[in-house]
């Protein structure tokens, strides 16, 4: 049964028995526990390679992939857009759809790095879940490894070792290392909220700052002089200078001018 608990907290991290204790307190921010889920592995039906990873089984089916197995645990936000509190060892799993010579491939990264963003062959599909940094404290002991083939693309598999990768499909592949470590399944009841119990705390993303409070006198003055008022920046844009066709934020530009060329 999926279990989501809401808690009020004050950010407090204490070292306890080699883990982290999230201290409940009188809080000013609302937080909730993340939802641990299995990570399903699908493969391309024709090549039995080119893995597609998802926490939504039906998504893999709808995209035409063949279900292969379940790799390990990951955690998803309790609400869309929520982010994990820092210091829990979690890394985002950005999914990239890659235009590869073997066909559509999928790659997963812990960040929006320039070499990925600036490559026109990569198309970001957002964060599908959070896993743990390789070897992070409190992981489940299962680790997600990455293989790569220039002719077949990316292949992900799970191993209980950080240094000994799992097998790969037939063909020439090179081991790229450990991409993530898996999380533990959420254990209930929770006496101590630490990664070892599959307990991860998420919070709402920071709210944008309120718009500036503009002076009503300046706004009215802008209108009186024929300008256009921008309430987001509390500034006025005045009509274009007929000689250079450039708008101005200087009210002096509205003064009578000599004909162009004088």
pLDDT tens digits, residue range 7-23?
A: 333 333 333 333 333 43
Which residue reads 């197995």 in tokens?
A: 69
Pair 80, 167 in one domain: yes
Which segments in the chain show pLDDT lower than 70? 1-29, 189-190, 241-262
Using DSSP bridges, classify how beta strands 66-76 and 52-54 pair: parallel, antiparallel or unpaired: unpaired
Full-model pTM: 0.70
Token code pair at residue 119: 């490559």
Token code pair at residue 158: 């799970």
Pair 149, 51 in one domain: yes
Burial class (CB in 10 A: 0-12, 13-18, 19+), 181: buried
CA distance 141 to 183: 8
In this structure, the number of other CB atoms found within 10 A of the CB of residue 169 comes to 17
Phi, psi of 72 (to 5 degrees): 175, -170
Q: Strand, coil or helix: what is 58?
A: helix
Pair 68, 161 in one domain: yes
Pair 248, 125 in one domain: no
In the chain, what are the helix, strand and coil shares in percent, each to the nearest 5?
10, 45, 45
How many domains are contained in the chain? 2
Token code pair at residue 16: 């306890």
Confirm whether 152 is domain-assigned: yes
pLDDT number for residue 195: 87
pLDDT number for residue 242: 56
pLDDT number for residue 102: 86
What is the residue range of 245's domain? 216-254
- CB neighbour list of residue 118: distance below 8 Å, 6 or more residues apart: none
Answer yes or no: are the C-beta atoms of 108 and 41 closer than 8 Å. no
Confirm whether 14 is domain-assigned: no
Pair 157, 245 in one domain: no
Confirm whether 162 is domain-assigned: yes
Confirm whether 59 is domain-assigned: yes
Summarize pLDDT for 151-164 with one digit per residue, the tens.
999 999 999 999 99
pLDDT number for residue 18: 35
Phi, psi of 218 (to 5 degrees): -65, -40
Pair 47, 175 in one domain: yes
Confirm whether 11 is domain-assigned: no
In this structure, the number of other CB atoms found within 10 A of the CB of residue 150 comes to 12
Last residue of a domain, one of 146, 166, 185: 185
Pair 118, 61 in one domain: yes
CA distance 223 to 215: 13
In this structure, the number of other CB atoms found within 10 A of the CB of residue 229 comes to 16
């Amino acid at each position: 049964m999926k279990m989501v608990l809401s808690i009020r907290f004050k950010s407090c991290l204490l070292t306890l028995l080699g883990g982290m204790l999230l201290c409940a307190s009188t809080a000013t921010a609302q937080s909730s526990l993340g939802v641990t889920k299995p990570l399903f592995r699908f493969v391309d039906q024709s090549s039995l390679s080119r893995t597609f990873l998802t926490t939504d089984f039906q998504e893999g089916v709808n995209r035409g992939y063949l279900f292969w197995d379940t790799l390990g645990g990951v955690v998803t936000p309790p609400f869309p857009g929520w982010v994990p509190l820092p210091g829990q060892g979690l890394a985002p799993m950005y999914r990239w759809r890659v235009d590869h010579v073997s066909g559509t491939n999928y790659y997963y990264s812990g960040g929006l790095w320039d070499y990925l963003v600036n490559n026109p062959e990569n198309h970001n599909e957002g964060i599908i879940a959070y896993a743990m940094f390789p070897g992070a404290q409190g992981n489940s002991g299962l680790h997600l490894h990455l293989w790569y083939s220039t002719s077949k693309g990316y292949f992900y598999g799970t191993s209980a070792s950080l240094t000994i990768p799992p097998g790969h499909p037939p063909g020439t592949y090179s081991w790229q290392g450990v991409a993530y470590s898996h999380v533990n399944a959420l254990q209930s009841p929770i006496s101590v909220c630490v990664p070892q119990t599959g307990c991860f705390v998420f919070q709402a993303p920071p709210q944008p700052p309120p718009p500036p409070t503009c002076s009503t006198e300046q706004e009215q003055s802008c209108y009186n002089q024929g300008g256009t008022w921008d309430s987001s920046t509390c500034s006025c844009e005045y009509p274009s200078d007929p000689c250079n066709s450039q708008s101005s934020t200087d009210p002096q530009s509205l003064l009578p001018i000599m004909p162009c060329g004088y």
